[in-house]
Amino acid sequence: MRRFWLKLHRWLALALALPLIVVALLGSILVVLKPLDRWLNAELFSVSAGPAALDLLERTRRHLQAEFGPEASFVLRPPREAGESLRATVRGKAWEGFIYLDPRDARELGRRGEREGLFNFVFELHSSLLLNETGKPLLAVLALAYLVLLIGGLVLWWPKRWKQAFALTLDRGVLRGLFDLHRTAGALLGLLIAVPVASGAYMAWKPLSQAVTSMAGQTPRTPPKIKVGDTALQPAPLDALVATAMARFGGAPVGYIALPAGAAKPVRVRLMLADDPHPNGLTSVWMHPLTGAVLRADRWNELDPGASANSVIYPLHTGELGGFALEAVNAVLGIALAATGMTGLLLWWLRR
């Protein structure tokens, strides 16, 4: 069995170590790039303090639909603090990206393509390998490969004498030093590294959350279906629609507003409840886009198990669950994973 685990560990690492190293390093870089991007592009993210327009959301929707047409979908992120801009994510046939608007008058401050700018490019590479939906299951495969590598590494490391379990011999040549660093770092940090790796895979590939729900004996919730009815009806004013959603949960602040293409799908208003650990809120109010009626309200802790788990898994992966300290820890773990992979590859090469 030891020989089996050795071969599996070696050849799986040789096949997938490089993409694992790249994804891990990119995740660590994102921790630094996010605040740096906001600082370097302050004209997009920041505005002078002032009251927001009463019809800000409706004015924004009309502006976007006039430019991109009814076949485009939008996700609006209203300002959450004074001095923040409103961000609109656009998914259209001709263009995909982000538009930033002044909440005082819905004036456009600027726009960037989905992969325009260093932060956006690195984020897309880290979250989908620049392959959109195709890249997400590949990331899940990488995560599974890491877990197999971790199990194999622990089996190979498991000591007969625990006094020598974490010994480092750095004065007997490069090969011996690299070997001790690789095995010791893998044993000490492997389980900790598995947390951001597994949580990233869980977020990237939806079938994983669906499997969790199925194992719990439940059915994943899907968006409510609507009957469009009279197609001549004008959409309900978006600001009034969002106000109705907020009132459903005591005036909870808005995280995101998802506006699907056409009028055959409901508008989704995500709310940030005080007891929800998810930084963007997972509580959803589904609204009829024409009548403004509430179709369904889903509190975050009443969702199916696979979906509600994201309230902890997402901020755990990004580090927002523990503030700056956890963000720093995740960045260090990403560097540790990359270093472990590089020492393993170097060991194989030197031994050859």
In the chain, where the domains are located: 2-33+129-215+323-351, 39-121, 238-313
* CB burial of residue 173 (10 Å; 0-12, 13-18, 19+): exposed
339 contacts: CB under 8 Å, gap ≥ 6? 185
Specify whether the CB–CB gap between 31 and 328 falls below 8 A.
yes
Quote the pLDDT of residue 263. 80
pTM: 0.90
Quote the pLDDT of residue 230. 58
238-313 is classed CATH 2.60.40: no
Q: Are strands 267-271 and 294-298 parallel, antiparallel or unpaired?
A: unpaired
* CB burial of residue 346 (10 Å; 0-12, 13-18, 19+): middle
Structure tokens at 310: 């994201």
10-residue averages of pLDDT along the chain (352 residues): 92 94 96 96 94 95 94 96 96 95 96 95 94 90 94 91 80 86 91 95 91 93 80 82 96 97 91 96 94 94 95 95 93 95 93 82
